[in-house]
Copies of this chain bind each other. A is one copy, B any other.
């Protein structure tokens, strides 16, 4: 079943940052779509429930040098 969640992301300050956060989210197995907004400081992620967790998404963002909550 597909689900959608939104994470707050801080530390992004340009389009390169947005692309980076998008890339690490899409690299997670189970993530099917990621829309990252610089203005809102948010990432909205569509994912297959049971294949990936919100915690894994936040960890991937943190590992890429940004802060997710």
A residues in contact (CB < 8 Å) with B: 11-17, 19-24, 27, 63-66
A64 touches B11 (CB 8 A): no
A-side interface mostly: helix
B17 touches A16 (CB 8 A): yes
A66 touches B16 (CB 8 A): yes
Copies, count: 2
A64 touches B13 (CB 8 A): no
- For A18, the closest partner residue in chain B by CB is B65
Which residues of B have CB within 8 Å of A16? 11-14, 16-17, 20, 65-66
B13 touches A65 (CB 8 A): no
Q: Give complex CA distance A66, B23 in Å.
A: 9
